A and B are shown apart, each in its own frame.
Chain A
Amino acid sequence: AQSVAQPEDQVNVAEGNPLTVKCTYSVSGNPYLFWYVQYPNRGLQFLLKYITGDNLVKGSYGFEAEFNKSQTSFHLKKPSALVSDSALYFCAVRDDKIIFGKGTRLHILP
């Protein structure tokens, strides 16, 4: 059975510093991996996806994610955090269905 884990409930980063939000997954076949962001009282918005190819995937708002097959990880990264990046971030994996992690709250400190 597929699963996805986000080990951190909250990540605090100072504005201008690099950020990482962690995600690990388990699937039986080739993984289709996604990151979504959720702002207060809004639905989830798609950030980026990994299907195949380059292990470093670039997405919206300057975010990127690194796929690591040996560690079964798909961590979300950004070189320089903005206060406006503060939100709830969800990792998702698609095998026979789409499963979301429990979410990580990212708090960027001014």
Chain B
Amino acid sequence: EAGVAQSPRYKIIEKRQSVAFWCNPISGHATLYWYQQILGQGPKLLIQFQNNGVVDDSQLPKDRFSAERLKGVDSTLKIQPAKLEDSAVYLCASSWGDQNSPLHFGNGTRLTVT
């Protein structure tokens, strides 16, 4: 099966600019996750979708971050305006949705904010 696709792989922007990341999950996976991984730390959940509905966005900084899942398939994560502390790798993952199912991760987008 094709894996989780993410683009771009790398992005460099200046603070206060905006940026968007795209994710295409594994076909048929109902649940989609966006994680933020800061260097030296484990992934932190930003938002979880079940089909096209939001299940958990409790750790999403909603004043600057937004995400949507179009028609329950692809997803876009946006940051506007970016801050220096947003420099991180943004990982998208998908799964079948039940508690037994492991997550399948994309290769991530490395964001550098200068």
Using a CB–CB cutoff of 8 Å, the interface residues on chain A facing chain B are: 32, 34, 36, 41-46, 49, 51, 90, 94, 97-103
Contact = CB atoms under 8 A, between A and B. Distances in A.
Contacts of A34: 102
Interface of A is mostly: strand
Contact of B93 (A43, A90, A97, A103): A43
Contact of B103 (A42, A46, A51, A103): A46
* Interface size classification for chain B: 20 to 34
Contacts of A97: 45, 48, 56
B4 A101 contact: no
Interface stretch (B36-44, B65-73, B75-83): B36-44
Contact of A41 (B40, B56, B107): B107
Given A42-B107, A45-B105, A46-B103, A103 B91 contact: no
B108 interface: yes
